[in-house]
Amino acid sequence: MKTSHFPFQSSLISGLTLLGFASIASAQWLTQSIDLKAGWNAVFLHVDASHDTLNALVASDTNNPILEVWRWNPPSAAQFTDNPAEPIAAAEWTSWVRSLPDSTLQRLSGDTAYLVRVNSNSPTYIWRIKGRPVAPRRDWTISGLNLIGFPTVTNNPPKFNAFLAKAPELQSAIPEIYHYPGGELSTNNPALLPSYLFPVKPANR
């Protein structure tokens, strides 16, 4: 499977595995905690924090080391490239940049994938986001990328072949699944999982 136009497109294939997950509870507030590393981090929000702006939630906190937030918007038509590159504007993405208060992305929606860049001089940071829980819903595309989170158990998580067994399309045409552990980009980050049978890592809570 080829990849789409954004910097980390090869990290964005269907099996992005270090994505946050919060238990679902309707009509109440929930705080999702996400471990971030220096550099780029893949994040999947299960809470809707659109009640406030990123300027208020992030930029106003001098202790928050987040520099950029990019939201993935599932494309209506597939676009392809071969290699990861630096961030570029594309229809599939909207972004917030700390130094640009008028950035197009201002609010965090739930059930949505993001890439978050943390200051390279920052230690590990726990980003706590308070919002309304949003039930997950997945609409997969077979002609492009699927940046999603896989909610699963902590102990003895299933392997991808078991987790995706209910999707016959993925059994007949095995997709490329990349693991993006976070941090600075390198030749091995993001990394193609060498086996379709690798365990699905549990989602952050």
* Upstream peptide bond of 190 is cis (omega within 30 degrees of 0): yes
d(CA 45, CA 68): 16
The 8-class DSSP code of residue 9 comes to: G
On whether the CB atoms of residues 148 and 11 are closer than 8 A, the answer is: no
Report the percent of the chain where pLDDT is more than 90. 31
∠ Cα 99 104 106 (to 5°): 80
Rounded to the nearest 5°, which phi and psi values hold at 71?
A: -100, 130
**Which stretch, 12-26, 48-62, 125-139, 144-158, has highest mean pLDDT?**
48-62
Q: Which of 108, 110, 152 is nearest to 134 (CA)?
A: 110
d(CA 14, CA 3): 11
Q: What is the pTM of this model?
A: 0.67
H/E stretch holding 172 reads: helix 168-172
d(CA 43, CA 20): 6
Residues 28-47 pLDDT 10s: 899 999 999 999 988 889 89
Rounded to the nearest 5°, which phi and psi values hold at 68?
A: -145, 150
Confidence of residue 82 (pLDDT cuts 50, 70, 90): very low
Question: Does the pLDDT value for residue 134 go beyond 60?
Answer: yes
Question: Does the pLDDT value for residue 65 go beyond 90?
Answer: yes
Q: Which of 69, 79, 58 is nearest to 143 (CA)?
A: 79
